[in-house]
Amino acid sequence: MKKAFQVKSLLLSMAVAGAATMAIAPVAVQAGVSGNIGAVSTYVYRGVLQTSDASANGGVDYENDNGIYLGVWGADVGGGTVGLEYDIYGGWAGEFSGVSLGLGVTGYYYTGDFDTSYQEINTSVGYGPVTVGYDMGVWEDGAVDGTDADYTDISIGLEYSGMAATYGQYDSDTDLKDNAVTYLEVGYSAEIAAGFEGSITYINSSFEAAGVKDEDYLVFGVSKSFDLM
């Protein structure tokens, strides 16, 4: 049986398209292909528990110096017994007078019977350490009657010197009462060994679907990024 609100994936930091009359420059990055691997003690996304067991993940990203990016990312969502999540995403990110802008799309897919698929438009705008995101998507067969369900996620994030905090609300049109999920994530990350980054994140989520009102999680993670091309 599918669980409500199982929207997943690496929380992508993307930006909103700006006005056509503005002179927008791409974010200054060196074109190339990079990879990443990691693991978390508990997989939680947008305040919703995906798996209480440890979950390994990894991905490959391409970034062009004109601001276009493409990538794929995958994670274990069942200790090898349920299946694999794999996400495919792409878009554009740029900057204008210190304001980060962009637009992207993400598809969330699964092997096994963990969940159905999601297609999502990701937008955000940022200035300095603050980023505001607004995502719109469609959850295949997610409604109570088995039809597709629309959903939105709005969030505000703050990053400073290894510290990061996100407050957001995820709301899906599943015909369930009081089904919005409000979540707060506060974390810190730092290099723990050559090329490896460790993180600790506290997550609080509040929602009433399935009788669950409040949940708290403490998530430990480790990751490594590397250039491929």
Percent of residues, the chain, with pLDDT higher than 70? 81
Mean pLDDT for 11-33 is 46
Domain ranges of the chain: 25-227
Closest CA to 34 of 6, 56, 60: 60
Report d(CA 119, CA 164) in Å as an integer.
Answer: 26
Which residue did the predictor score with more confidence, 40 or 143? 40
Determine the pLDDT at residue 208: 60
Residue 151, C-beta contacts closer than 8 angstroms, at least 6 positions apart? 7, 136, 137, 138, 139, 142, 170, 171, 172, 173
Confidence of residue 175 (pLDDT cuts 50, 70, 90): low
The answer to whether the pTM exceeds 0.85 is: no
> Tell me, what's the pLDDT at 150?
94
Residue 73 Cα distances to 5, 87, 202, angstroms: 20, 5, 23
| pLDDT of res. 22 | 36
The residue to which tokens 């969030």 are assigned: 155
100-134 confidence digits (pLDDT tens): 999 999 999 998 888 999 999 999 999 999 999 99
Q: In the prediction, which pLDDT does 129 show?
A: 95
Q: Are 105 and 88 in contact (CB under 8 A)?
A: no
What CA–CA distance (Å, rounded) separates 16 from 14?
7
3-state secondary structure of 211: helix
**pLDDT at position 4 over 90:** no
Q: What is the pLDDT of residues 138-172, one digit of tens each?
A: 999 988 888 999 999 999 999 999 999 999 999 98
80 confidence band (pLDDT: 50, 70, 90):
low
Considering only CA atoms, which of 138, 152, 67 is closest in space to residue 103? 67
Q: How far apart are CA 45 and CA 87, in angstroms?
A: 13
Which whole number is the average pLDDT over 23-51?
82
Query: Among the CATH numbers 3.90.1570.10, 3.40.50.300, 2.40.160.40, 3.40.50.620, which is that of 25-227?
Result: 2.40.160.40
Closest to 85 measured CA to CA, from 56, 52, 62, 61: 56
Three-state DSSP class for residue 174: coil
Q: What is the mean pLDDT of the chain?
A: 84
